[in-house]
Chain A
Amino acid sequence: MTKAASRQSAEKKSQVSRRGFVAGLSAGSLVLAFKLSGAQEVAVVEIDQADAPTFEPDLFVSIASNGDVTILAHRSEMGTGIRTALPMVVADELGADWNRVAIQQAIGDSRLGSQNTDGSRSIRRFYDRMRIAGATARTMLEQAAAAEWNVSPSECKAQDHKVSHAASGQELDFGALVESASRLPVPDKAELKFRPASERRYIGKDIPITDLDDLITGKAMFGLDARRPNQLFAVVARPPVLGGTVREFDATTARGVPGVVDIVEIPKFKGPHAFQPLGGIAVLANSTWAAMQGRDALSIEWENGKNADYDSNEFEKTLVESSRKEGKVIRSEGDTEKVFQDASPDTIHEADYYVPHLAHAPMEPPCALCDVTIDESGNVVSCEAWAPTQNPQASQDVLAATLGIDKDLVTVNVTLIGVGLGRKSKPDFVAEAAILSRAVGRPVHVTWTREDDIQNGYYHTVAAVHMRAAVDEAGMPTAWLQRSSFPSIMTSWNPAARHGAEFEMSQGFTDVPYSVPNLQVENGEADAHLRIGWMRSVAHIYHALAVCSFPDELAHRAGRDPYEYLLELLGPDRLISLEGVEYSNHREPIDRFPIDVGRLRHVTERVAKLANWGKELPRGSAQGIACHRSFLSYCAHVVEVEITKNGELSIPRVAVVIDPGMVIHPDRVRAQMEGGTVFATGLARYGEITAEQGRIQQSNFDDFEVARIDDSPQEINVEIVSSDKPPAGVGEVGVPSFAPALCNAIFAATGKRIRRLPLSRHDLSWA
């Protein structure tokens, strides 16, 4: 090869590896490229020779000539086990030996289909796609073997990393078939045959997660650990009030701090803040600590802007008022208003619930490394990022927009995520690193301190929920009104939005599953003064608190057992029809994922049994129950509390049952139920972010407390209802029903009804 050709080939290769995922594949690899958008076209590409044709980088499976299988993980790993579970589906369908499978993390690329790892979507959106990937590769390997042996492909079977022909006893390792298979045309998706469940080796098994060894030995690379030669470490002083700007600043002292290399101003976002950086003053140094010291030495005068009058205490009154006023009708059955008008006042029961702002506080705070390269005239040539992002594609878009370059010039590498909880779907922190790298011409790693994370976050919204029922002589509701008011997540894009978005109302509210003849669901108005963003289980948190506590209130009012009452309120097994109602069902078709009251009842019965509902308990101890459908799955909790006379709460045991349809990795489902329960324990016990003069008053784990080992449930018993229904959500499903079940237990133990979280505000003592 000539020198020029060699250089060109090297460039091509680097382009290929930059744009693709299979850098370092050996010669003669079989590569299956999937185009997930549009017509689902599938292409095979060989990358063996120097002038390898350009290939679509949206690859899920490749097999090297030694038989090693590489499976692309395109969803972000933040603790759910998705880097293991989706590849398991591919390996199973392919017939691969898991020990010969390597997992490769994808860069951000829209051609892979959505990589936005939130909404408990990974399995349900990509289970079928992974099967197609595996089945396509398997079919071609079987065809290649059949040609080799001159037999029919239907007589050849791939399993245990080889293809065998039973009649002749011949078999070939996958590696031996790579070359011939790569010359075959890709079979049509419609012609693929999928493996029967009986032939699966991995789905349904508790395989150790891919990163287990690295995680416990300190080798795993999170965003905080990303390193490039010559990089600087940065921290940023951001406006304390949303929309604030720097009036003036003096960095003289900061520049004198040992280790500080540069000070760079980051401009405030333009238009709605969306995923843009907040702006502020960055200190760049040769260590994170030096950058922090430099930031402490900055003198900044802020212009606080219009949110400086935000007081969350005052706002609470406004919001509760909004939830008690007539609102926008979302769902209406029967004539609720007339029943209330005709009802005698002593048959009406009302309750107002409230959940304050919450912060994600992921263990690894937001952080990112960017390397922006600039040509001689100062134009940006490329940007490469390493970030713990739940959304590499949005990161790519935001980086491109921030730098004013084509997104093909932006590469987003996804590190492991030190838990995301929704915070790391919003790539403002990645854009900060890019702005700084461009300014100094070196790679820059930005770390948010815990204080930054708590004070400059995207907050779980604050919500007031008004509940009203008229009950008959048996205590069952004849009319039911529920109305929630909360600043919408959509205000991050449309600050004028005053109503909840459809997807927020649909989360555990519009689809209230109870059987009541007259039922109305409404939404009140609210303004936002902070960046509002989704947090694990999102609107289900406040909706479930109200919708699952209120039946408990009615049960006690009627002098009935809350579990029995709940079952009666759920009514007959049926699919709830919401025809004519604005309801997107977590963006899944309702016929594939119906609102199935029978499944909800089933998990409720199972959890009651698992918890030995109604068992004898000493005074101060009690059980509470709640059930809730979220992310298309069904979940129920029984929480047992033990409360001392002076009000100290402990949670000796929790039972939780989930029905998520089909399960790929049972142990990770159990882990998510345990973790969701603990996450909910923290928010129920302590979770509250408050603001005064627009500034967040909490700053770290000392004043924004989260669940710890000693105040979490001591025992969590999980049961999974296995079924062959389509796989639904898991990651967020363990959260919503916990807090109401806990509050219901507290009522049973103390007679105190908690309608406003967190518990730390309340005196739980009893006599």
Chain B
Amino acid sequence: MIKLKVNGEAHQLENIDPETPLLWVLRDTLGLTGTKYGCGISMCGACTVHLDGEAIRSCSFSVGDIGDSEVTTIEGLAAEDEEHPLLAAWKEHAVPQCGYCQTGQIMNAAALLSENPEPTDAEVDEAMWGNICRCGTYIRIRAAIHSAAKGAQS
């Protein structure tokens, strides 16, 4: 049996191979489909979630290695009492096109801002490099991150 804490909720999972990537446990076992599959090899960032506040690629992180750490998915971030400044900024800049990668983008950006509240363009690029958007919304992603950073500062 594997214990897992996701978005503040404790789960006890039976019959799960501890090697199973967290991504598939979230999606197929817990029904948290906001976290997406894109590559399975940590090359696209669509599956980004937080582990104790840090961004990880859930496609390449075994559920058995999580232990007592807390997992936060986009569903958890979106359920926070106060709207996350990134969500407001994402709307302000009308970032999403198809939207598929955006939950991973937002989770990655949230981890960036919690570490670096006012990143430069270069720091945004460095942090967001691993998140692919095939619609090509990068310019707006960068702008939205800056907006959220400014909003949080004021």
Considering only CB atoms and an 8 Å cut-off, how many residues of chain A contact the other chain?
69
- B33 with A671: CB separation less than 8 A: no
Please judge, given known A-B contacts A208-B94, A218-B35, A709-B141, whether A678 and B136 are in contact too, CB under 8 Å. Answer: yes
Q: How far is the CB of B124 from chain A (nearest CB, A)?
A: 7
A520 at the interface (CB under 8 A from B): no
**Would B106 and A709 count as touching, CB distance under 8 A?**
no
CB pair B24–A289 under 8 Å, yes or no, is: yes
Interface of A with B (CB < 8 Å)? Answer: 77-81, 206, 208-209, 211-222, 224-225, 227, 233, 258-259, 286-290, 293, 361-365, 416-421, 447, 449-450, 667, 671-672, 674-679, 681, 700-702, 706-710, 712-716
CA distance in complex: A706, B129 (Å) = 11
What residue of chain A has the Cβ atom nearest to residue B46's Cβ? A363
- A674 touching B140 by the CB < 8 A rule? yes
Give Cα distance in the complex from A700 to B44, angstroms: 10
Question: When chains A and B are docked, how far (Å) is the Cα of A420 from the Cα of B135?
Answer: 9
Q: Let me know if A288 and B98 touch, CB within 8 A.
A: no
Between A and B, 12 residue pairs with Cβ closer than 8 Å are: A77-B98, A208-B94, A222-B100, A227-B33, A233-B28, A288-B24, A289-B24, A363-B38, A363-B44, A447-B37, A706-B134, A709-B131
**B100 & A418 in contact (Cβ 8 Å cutoff):** yes
Kindly state the separation between the CA atoms of A754 and B62 in the bound complex, as whole angstroms.
45
Cβ contact of A419, chosen from B41, B98, B124, B126, cutoff 8 A: B98
CB-contacts of B11-33 with A (<8 A): 15, 17, 20-21, 24-25, 27-29, 31-33
Indicate if the CB atoms of B135 and A675 lie closer than 8 Å: yes
Indicate the member of B27, B75, B99, B142 with the most A CB atoms within 10 Å.
B99
Query: How close is A360's CB to chain B, nearest CB, in angstroms?
Result: 8
Nearest B residue to A231, CB-CB: B28
Residues A220 and B43 in contact, CB atoms below 8 Å apart: no
Tell me if B111 counts as interface (CB < 8 A to partner A): no
Q: Which bucket holds chain B's interface residue count?
A: 35 or more
A674 and B134 within 8 A (CB): no
| Beta-carbon contact of A708 and B39 below 8 Å | no
A124 to B125, CA, bound (A): 37
Q: How far is the CA of A212 from the CA of B106 in the complex (A)?
A: 13
Minimum CB–CB distance for A718 against chain B, Å = 10
Query: With A208-B91, A209-B94 known to touch, is A712 a contact of B99 (CB < 8 Å)?
Result: no
Which residue of chain A has its CB nearest to the CB of B63? Answer: A289
Complexed CA–CA distance, A258 and B97 (Å): 38
Pairwise interchain contact A709-B124, C-beta atoms closer than 8 A: yes
B24, closest chain A residue (CB): A289
Leading 10 A-B pairs by shortest Cβ distance: A218-B34, A678-B136, A418-B100, A215-B99, A79-B98, A79-B97, A217-B78, A218-B74, A675-B136, A289-B24
In this complex, what residue of A is CB-closest to B128? A709
| B24 & A700 in contact (Cβ 8 Å cutoff) | no
> A216-B106, A700-B43 are known contacts. Are A706 and B132 too (CB-CB below 8 A)?
yes
Which residues of chain B have C-beta atoms less than 8 A from A258's C-beta? 15, 17
Does B64 have its Cβ within 8 Å of any Cβ on chain A?
no
Please tell me if B102 contacts chain A, counting CB pairs below 8 Å: yes
Q: Indicate if the CB atoms of A220 and B99 lie closer than 8 Å.
A: yes
Complexed CA–CA distance, A43 and B85 (Å): 48
| Residue B73 CB within 8 A of the other chain | yes
* B10 contact set on A, CB distance < 8 A: none
Binary contact track B60-91/A, C-beta < 8 Å → 1, others 0? 00000000000001110010000000010011
Expressed in whole angstroms, the Cα–Cα distance for A706 and B46 within the complex equals 14
Contact A209/B128 with A215-B102, A216-B87, A707-B136 known, Cβ cut-off 8 Å = no
Question: Which chain A residues lie closer than 8 Å to B53 at the CB level?
Answer: none
* A419–B75 CB distance below 8 A: no
For A417, the chain B residues whose CB sits under 8 A away are 98
